[in-house]
């Protein structure tokens, strides 16, 4: 029979014990990782413990529905953008004295336009005894009717997005009242 030196047997026994101890630590580490993976899988699958393939199929169906819904919202947004382009979004106002003997800039011209410059300009001419209002249709910022300087200024203000103007137009001066 084979005889081994007792020192060699002791070294082999210690090495085997060390390998066994390392294997035990590795097994514990893997058990902990497996436990974490199971918890994660349980969260992913839900409380019912469904099959992973079924859960992925359900998620795929939900994603497809979400994509269709987003496409519908995108189409609706385009419809709304087109609608907004045709609504009044630009307003210009010019106040002025229509007559030399009137003060206070009570006459006005206001332009109400959409994004294309289509809309109307309304003018109110204030006199001592009466006020007259005029409305003119606009297409592309222009009218088939003659536009006054004040109406043109209101249209330009609307197109450029300037604030309302009150004051003197070219060729006209405001008179101050004497005390």
CB 108 within 8 A of CB 94: yes
Q: With contact defined as beta carbons under 8 Å apart, do 89 and 113 qualify?
A: yes
High-pLDDT (> 70) share of the chain, %? 88
Tell me how long the chain is: 179
Band (pLDDT 50/70/90 cuts) for residue 41 is: confident
pTM of the model: 0.55
Q: What is the pLDDT of residues 125-177, one digit of tens each?
A: 998 888 999 999 999 989 999 999 999 999 999 999 887 776 544 444 443 33
- Span 83-103, pLDDT tens digits: 888 899 899 999 998 887 777
What is the predicted pLDDT for the residue at 50?
64
**How many helices (H) and strands (E) are present in the chain, helices listed first?**
3, 5
């Amino acid at each position: 029979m084979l005889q081994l030196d007792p020192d060699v047997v002791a070294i082999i026994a210690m090495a085997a014990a060390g390998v066994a101890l390392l294997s035990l630590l590795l097994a514990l580490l893997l058990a902990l990782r497996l436990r974490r993976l199971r918890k994660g899988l349980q969260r992913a699958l839900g409380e019912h413990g469904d099959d992973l393939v079924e859960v992925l199929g359900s998620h795929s169906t939900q994603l497809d529905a979400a994509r269709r819904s987003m496409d519908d919202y995108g189409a609706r947004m385009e419809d709304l953008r087109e609608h907004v382009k045709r609504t009044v979004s630009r307003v210009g106002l010019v106040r002025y004295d229509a007559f030399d003997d009137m003060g206070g800039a009570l006459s006005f011209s206001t332009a109400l336009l959409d994004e294309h410059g289509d809309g109307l300009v309304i003018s109110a001419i204030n006199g001592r005894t009466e006020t007259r209002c005029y409305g003119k249709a606009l297409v592309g910022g222009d009218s088939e009717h003659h536009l006054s300087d004040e109406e043109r200024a209101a249209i330009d203000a609307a197109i450029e997005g300037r604030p309302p103007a009150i004051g003197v137009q070219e060729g006209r001066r405001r008179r101050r009242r004497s005390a």
